[in-house]
Amino acid sequence: MPQPIPMNVGNGTDATNEIVPLSEPSLVLLFVLASIYPHVEIPSIASFADAHVVADAADKYDMFRVREVLRIAVLANESLRKVPLRLYHLARKCKWGDVIASSSEMTLDWNLMTGPLPNDATALNEHEADRRTHWQRRALRADASALGAKASSVKRAQFGLFDGFPRAL
């Protein structure tokens, strides 16, 4: 990439090319630089581990554009989209509301309280697993109460009770 001309050139001092140490792996730096430097092609991301490292670097350097390019790259990768719990975890970390909603919808029919767990469930940390089981228990209670209300209304109709008062059938 082109480098800016140092301010002290021409004052009798020579410019030095200082090496700036960076703690991120080369994959992260490549993704970050490809995100901010205009290209036709969006950089690709191969795994959720790489995506988390890139998201951490985007947070560290306050580069919101990198996070948006990461979102596009993750959603463009079909193999990453097929793992909804890991996608949900990354989306929560990056605060991608639409991805949170769509990835959580894909997991609603999974029962995390009784086995066997899908391979994707190993991506959940304890807090996320507690949240998922809480919402599943709540959905089960709502279903049970709806079935109970339906059963009691059927009983009332069988015995001629409507709104608690007997009526002629």
What does the pLDDT average to over 80-98? 90
Write the pLDDT tens digit of every residue in 110-128. 766 665 555 555 555 666 6
Better pLDDT: 133 or 77: 77
Q: Residue 94: helix, strand or coil by DSSP? A: helix
Task: State the burial class of residue 158 (Cβ atoms within 10 Å of its Cβ: 0-12, 13-18, 19+).
Answer: exposed
**Residue 169, pLDDT score:** 45
- pLDDT single digits (tens) 42-64: 889 999 999 999 999 999 989 99
| Backbone dihedral angles phi then psi of residue 39, each to the nearest 5 degrees | -135, 160
What pLDDT score was predicted for residue 162? 47
d(CA 42, CA 57): 18
Q: What is the overall mean pLDDT for the chain?
A: 75
Considering only residues 140 and 54, tell me which one the structure prediction assigns the higher pLDDT. 54
Radius of gyration of the chain (CA): 27
DSSP assignment letter at 117: P
Question: Residue 37 has what pLDDT?
Answer: 82
